[in-house]
Chain A
């Protein structure tokens, strides 16, 4: 692969530097600095802005804070890859606290893949070091005049020319930065981000803010890496209570509620979801039919696993690494779904090597695999001419991944745009089977076998997004007909979505959720001990609703309407062939009835716009008016 070699050590070349003007940090509560930093790469300037307690309390942090700042600073209708487009890195009050799984940060931007709201999470020491810069968030805008590294500390911000890093893979870039910045932390992009692949990731320590193409936003700014460090610690309001609570939670995190993640990782889903007919295969042509048992976590564990890793400050440790032809790779359920099942590939070595390449190039494994799977079906049907994809060549998958990540040839250029844009070039027949929602490629849950997951994927702001909906929890709950859900299940879906929004804002890892005995009360107790606020369960329910609503407001401001809240036509027309859910197909009128109920429960109008009374109830009306996100038709 080009660009993978060692980098010559050169003297850093400072493009500009600036000292953030000190402003008083938030007074009277723990967990926050009460300020964020705007960095303009075009002008080489920085600006410190304050965050009041009241506004922080409304959105908490992480995804909530990221989307809030995005609405405030991202100009409406801006091209996500244009200079004015903003990239927000948001920390949260629990970062640096004693609570397990809280070393996380959110990155938010308008997605180049969906042109809608995108917030993506990533983990580990970058969150800890980033928050110690003394800011609750960094808002990066503008474009550097050459490839650069942005260095943010608690004293100074500067940009360094980094032509020698441009073109490097993620691990080569990591090695270089480790030598240059010992003791600091960074996020980077790979070659895919530099080449503006629309589903490029942003990476830190092997973890990726994966969905929606935020790596391309960073690449469009000629920003290869953001390096952070500092010594600004935030206060914990009630340290003894926080410590006691943290010890209890850590103990619970080691029990059976999280054993799956520790022992097997998310690849544990492969065999089970396949067996219940929910693992989509060959571009959603079947589910639970192909012989994919050998990709199951249970089987991989005995044969290929080489290590288990953990994010910083986590007692669970869910990252399982497997041996591949070119080294080792992090493998998740979604990796196997996208690169094996969705592409109809059976060869384990080929799939694991493709997974490794996705991480090295900085590609979202879901979008990469699903786009390849879609292209394969289009080639098979004669709608797309890509000779290198004809005939299912054994061992070809890593080469296709590399072509996408480096945007090489027709294959790289076409597939690097994602499923929706590729389908638009191929015509309506291809669009009917293109597996995306709002432009985001579908994750590994077959909507015909999991209709509530399907509804969740249809309505979430980011597009087909399993991490924001968790609708599978509803589908696989007892007491209803899984293939014919009703209004009760819609209410459960809303609740799952709210919980996810709260966890993404605090931020707590979702893999901890079963270890929380009383979800909102446990979350409130954590936030209370860190901030000192008298926060209640009810208040946090409202925060969760507010975060979901903010994402919706962003999309509405960008011109989104309810026509986007749907699923590919295939799911309403083609019954599943084979597997336990054979014959299942989505009923269009039932789907739209359930969607209407979802809108009503959210306080949105029948055409999916946030109603003014909902904005008032969530104390969002003045903000929504100020950022131009109120739709007057929403009555």
Chain B
């Protein structure tokens, strides 16, 4: 069965923009790097974003401010994860919003559905 349309559509053009020419490059050079994966990348419309250090809650608040399309499906408007997986430095899976995220650290965001 061919599927024509999706009711949760991400336009193909947006995809090539996200993956394409680097227009979404670093906003603030020194800081915490947030990397987006999978559908979160498509919805955020960017591959990565640099934000200021702080608690994980602060970091995610900055993410949702700069990528408002992530709310409400993946982050709440105050930056709480919702259907969203948070990994620090590629290793630590966490939902502890009080955890300090320092300069040079990275926060990975993707959806919860890991199956494949």
Contact = CB atoms under 8 A, between A and B. Distances in A.
A309 B2 contact: yes
A298 B41 contact: yes
B7, B16, B83, B114: most-surrounded residue (chain A CB, <10 A): B114
Contact of A269 (B19, B74, B89, B114): B114
B113 A258 contact: yes
B116 A334 contact: yes
Nearest to A477: B93
A442 interface: no
Contacts of B94: 478
Centre residue among A301, A311, A332 by max chain B CB count within 10 A: A301
Contacts of B91: 276-277, 482-483, 580-581
A184 to B, nearest CB: 17
Interface stretch (A421-429, A506-514, A549-557): A506-514
B81 to A, nearest CB: 9
A288 B90 contact: yes
B37 A263 contact: no
Nearest to B37: A272
Given A260-B111, A264-B42, A511-B113, A476 B93 contact: yes
Given A477-B93, A482-B92, A513-B115, A276 B87 contact: yes
A252 interface: no
Interface string A233-271: 000000000000000000000111111111110101101
Contact of B37 (A256, A275, A303): A275
B73 interface: yes
Given A264-B38, A269-B116, A288-B90, A259 B111 contact: yes
Interface in B59-80: 73-74
Interface of B: 1-3, 6-8, 10, 12, 15-16, 18-20, 35, 37-39, 41-42, 73-74, 83, 85-87, 89-96, 108, 110-116
Interface residues of A, number: 56
27 contacts: A256-B83, A257-B83, A259-B39, A259-B111, A260-B38, A260-B113, A263-B10, A268-B116, A271-B38, A272-B38, A276-B90, A276-B91, A276-B108, A297-B38, A298-B15, A298-B18, A298-B42, A301-B15, A302-B12, A302-B18, A303-B16, A307-B2, A308-B3, A317-B1, A317-B3, A478-B95, A580-B89
A332 B116 CA distance: 7
Residue in A272, A298, A301, A473 with the greatest tally of chain B CB atoms within 10 Å: A272
Nearest to A580: B90
Contacts of A275: 35, 37, 90, 108
Interface of A: 254-264, 266, 268-269, 271-272, 275-277, 288, 297-299, 301-303, 307-312, 314, 317, 332-334, 444, 466, 470, 472-473, 475-479, 482-483, 510-511, 513-514, 579-581
A26 B86 CA distance: 50
Contacts of A580: 89-91
A311 B1 contact: yes
Given A256-B39, A263-B39, A311-B1, 7 more contacts: A288-B90, A309-B3, A476-B85, A482-B91, A483-B91, A579-B90, A580-B89
A259 B8 contact: yes
Contacts of A302: 12, 15-16, 18-20
Contact of A255 (B8, B19, B37): B8
A269 B3 CA distance: 22
A259 B12 CA distance: 15
Nearest to A294: B19
